[in-house]
Amino acid sequence: MRDFLIVGGGVAGASAGYFLAESGGVTLLEMERAPGYHSTGRSAALFSEYFGNQAVRALTAASRPFLTTPPPGFTDAPLLTPRGVLTLCPAGAVDAAERFAEMLADGLSAPTPVREIDPDEVRRRCPIVRSGWYSRAMLKPAAMDIDVDALHQGFLRGIRARGGQVITSARVRGLFRRGGLWRAVTDAGEFAAPTVVNAAGAWADEVAGLAGVRPVGLRPLRRTAFLADLPGGVDATRWPMVTDVADTFYFKPESGRLLISPADATPMPPGDVRPDDLDVAIAVERLHKATTLEIRSVRHAWAGLRSAVADDTPVVGETPDAPGFVWLAALSGYGVQTAPAVGQIAAAAARRTPADAAYAHLSPERPLLDLRTWNDMERL
């Protein structure tokens, strides 16, 4: 028996396990043969304090110190490297112009404010952007690439180094509470602990159902991405990520090529999702309109699931009517960049330490769309 069971070995579950292993025995249960197979391993890998609602931005800012200066021995490589995001306003679109103005005003309050840039600077930063396609442009200078694998593996190594277990091929088939312990029946055997953390990603509502806990209404959403070659001799290493204010596409340099996405969010049941050829074609068409790049072939395409609830805010905390059942779910597309913060919050909830009260606004019982105040987030 251990002190804590964690269901799900993606970056969120691994983060919670890392922090919980400081104070107790941890068993992390991963249903696949390797942790991070689904959403974590298919992330666009961007750290952006301009991204998401007020809650998400606060969680991201709270994660920055860990990502900037991880603990000694956590990783041999930097977790964050400069990238920036260039956001374009399509010419002639009234709704887009209004959204651009809102985004620009909102971004002025970021730790590193956004700034509007002129066409000359757009060309210098990303020469393939088609000059007549957009009317205005802004730069989000502090957005950075995240080394997702280094972050994820650092958490997993930390669990093991602190005496924890990472059990793979351990899909949970049954979960019930008996004798003050949560008991998980899995493909790898039965495990028990007083507290269980539900970090099962797109499967989190299913895990709750096994435990007899009310679901939070997760919506798994498919996001498609693919790699395409650049023209010969073009070095895109220093280009920013490029997107539009309506969030209909994005692209960014990746391993000498471009990673491209139509920014789709198609509802899907939990599973090993695959890219749809139509989504790939839509992304290619949108990129042809917005840039001078001619995409003649797709190198590799994939899809992942972004699981969200109605207010697009993470759900973290203990369920009041199920003692010892802690949620760590609904991280949407923000899971990697918020992992250090939500992992610590989930660990505090699992230990029932005073931090619980400070972050009650993320709990599964919170009123949806109620963001309340986030001053306490600065204390993380």
Does 133 share its domain with 268? yes
Residues 10 and 53 in one domain: yes
Please indicate, yes or no, whether residues 152 and 125 belong to a single structural domain of this protein: no
Is residue 156 domain-shared with residue 70, that is, in the same domain? yes
Domain interval for residue 197: 4-74+147-218+311-379
Cβ neighbours of 194 (radius 10 Å) = 18
Minimal CA–CA distance to 14: which of 26, 1, 32, 31? 26
Domain stops at, among 261, 283, 308: 308
DSSP string, 39-80: TGGG---EE-TTSSSHHHHHHHHHHHHHHHSPPTTS-SS-SE
pTM over 0.85: yes
Pair (233, 339) in one structural domain: no
Judge whether residue 7 has pLDDT over 70. yes
Contacts of 106 (CB under 8 A, 6+ apart): none
Domain assignment present for 80? no
Q: pLDDT band at residue 371, thresholds of 50, 70 and 90?
A: very low
Same domain, 227 and 373: no
The distance from CA 252 to its chain's CA centroid, rounded to whole angstroms, is 17
The total number of structural domains that make up the chain: 2
Same domain, 123 and 244: yes
How many CB atoms within 10 Å of residue 378? 9
Beta strands in 75-232 (DSSP E): 80-82, 85-90, 115-117, 134-140, 144-146, 165-167, 172-178, 181-186, 189-193, 195-198, 219-228
Per residue in 227-277, pLDDT (tens digit) is: 999 988 889 999 999 999 999 999 999 989 999 999 999 999 999 999 999
Say whether both 364 and 233 belong to one domain.
no
Residue 80: partners with Cβ closer than 8 Å, 6 or more residues away: 47, 67, 68, 144, 145, 146, 147
Residues 228 and 370 in one domain: no
Domain boundary (259, 282, 308) is at 308
Is residue 278 within a helix (H) or strand (E), and if so which, with residue range?
Answer: helix 277-290
Assigned domain for 350 exists: yes
Query: Looking at the structure, do residues 136 and 116 belong to the same domain, yes or no?
Result: yes
Do both 158 and 303 map to the same domain? no
Indicate whether 22 and 69 sit together in one domain: yes
**Is residue 354 a part of any domain in this protein?**
yes
The domain that holds 105 is classified in CATH as 3.30.9.10
Indicate whether 44 pLDDT > 50.
Answer: yes
Q: What is the pLDDT of residue 362?
A: 64
| Cα end-to-end span (Å), the chain | 30
pLDDT of 142 > 70? The answer is: yes
